[in-house]
Amino acid sequence: MIDRYTRPAFRALWSDENRFRCWLEVEATASEVLADAGIVPHDAARAIRDRGTFTVDRIREIEKETRHDVIAFTTAVAENVGPESRWLHFGLTSTDVVDTAQALQIREASDRITDGLNGLSAVLRRRAIEFAHTPTIGRTHGVHAEPTTFGLKLLLWFEECQRNIRRFAAAAEDMRVGKLSGAVGSFGTVTPALEEEICRRLGLQVAPVSTQTLQRDRHAAYVSTLAVIASSLDKIATEIRHLQRTEVREAEEFFNPKQKGSSAMPHKRNPITAENICGLARVMRANAQVALEDVALWHERDISHSSAERVILPDQTTLADYLLAKTTDLIDRLLVYPQRMLRNLELTGGLVFSGQLLLELAEAGMLREDAYRLVQLLAMRAWTEDLVFRDLVRTDPQITAVLPPERIDRAFDVQRRLGNVPAIFERVLGEPLPGIASV
């Protein structure tokens, strides 16, 4: 991933230096376990642990000749270990090291992404409670529908974030596996018991069965889960982009006083962070397709997945970390305009209460079909003639014949429509909503 979208921790995590460090950790741990089993001399295992080192430049230099990165790595390490290096990589095949070490990197990446998910969750929860009683207009098909609250929008995102936390925990755990089962997975040298001990010391589980590789359905599920998370962030950012439109302007990104929105138009305040999130989410969804293509390999192993994973695994995790941080900051500093929300709620002169008026008329004795036709007739007149729907209702003889003024006012009471909001919050949060005065 390019530096623009890479935070420092992930730059270090996916560096060549760290990748080879993880390889060396697998090699050293395997040597120690084999030494304890009497297969490798203890002096050799200690030498590999104590003197095993490398430089990335030396590995690259050797790889130019060998055209094999693991052999280049073991050769570079062996130069520093000395005569005991004959026990380095003993009984292992390349992918034993590469796949197991990759699990170490992904475990670290997953821990950081989990932190990001939890951070976003906390911010969404806090701001959902902050705006729990802030009325706004709900929109379906982009058209005003019925009242809701801005806090409910945020609560919806919070609850989706909880699902993503659970999904990701399962996908990350499925990736916390190593394998040292040999060239075709049949344990030609290292036994299953030794594999289990090596992985235990590395903090990994073992794949119950493998070929030369860990099976890539694990990776596909992991990368796809990150794509789902990105799509949730895309959803949040898309909503904020809509709310920031000049005609709406109910919420907008924080805008630094020194920030510039356009080289040509000094007035511009553009939703650049939200657009950034939406754009990179597309990359993450595309990476999921690549991961799915990697599942089918030839026989017990080919390397068609390898080149693809060198791109998509660092990129997918790095982008997930970046987008979670961006979205958390976006929500944390989001500028919210409750008065504009109320103004937009009233923009149609009460049309958004047509459903409640319909119910009031039916409850008062009017046939539902007749009530629907009557309310729709007045609503369409308000639309086409740019009239105030509430005023038309209050002066319509068919309505006033069955509904007294206080019943009509009740039909247009926004707080009545929002009376169950606290119950929704309690259902999601598992505790009563703190008392906050309505805006």
Q: Which of 15, 262, 304, 307 is an active site residue?
A: 262
The catalytic position among 141, 263, 267, 299 is 141
**Which residues contact residue 100 at a Cβ distance below 8 angstroms, ignoring those fewer than 6 apart?**
26, 178, 179, 180, 198, 199, 202, 204
Work out the number of other CB atoms within 10 angstroms of the CB of residue 304.
11
Q: Has 181 been annotated as catalytic?
A: no
CA distance 439 to 437: 6
b/e per residue, 192-224, with b = 16+ CB within 10 A? eebbbbbbeebebbbbeebbbbbbbebbbbbbb
Q: Hey, what are 397's tokens?
A: 């003889």
* The 3-state secondary structure of the chain, one letter per residue: CCHHHCCHHHHHHCCHHHHHHHHHHHHHHHHHHHHHCCCCCHHHHHHHHHHCCCCHHHHHHHHHHHCCHHHHHHHHHHHHHCHHHHHCCCCCCHHHHHHHHHHHHHHHHHHHHHHHHHHHHHHHHHHHHHCCCCEEEEEECCEEEEEEEHHHHHHHHHHHHHHHHHHHHHHHHHHCEECCCCCCCCCCCCCHHHHHHHHHHHCCEECCCCCCCCCCHHHHHHHHHHHHHHHHHHHHHHHHHHHHCCCCCCEECCCCCCCCCCCCCCCCCCCHHHHHHHHHHHHHHHHHHHHHHCCCCCCCCCCHHHHHHHHHHHHHHHHHHHHHHHHHHHHHCCEECHHHHHHHHCCCCCHHHHHHHHHHHHHCCCCHHHHHHHHHHHHHHHHHHCCCHHHHHHHCHHHHCCCCHHHHHHHCCHHHHCCCHHHHHHHHHCCCCCCCCCC
Cα(239)–Cα(228) distance, integer angstroms: 17
Is 15 an annotated catalytic residue? no
Q: How far apart are CA 144 and CA 125, in angstroms?
A: 26
Catalytic residues: 141, 262
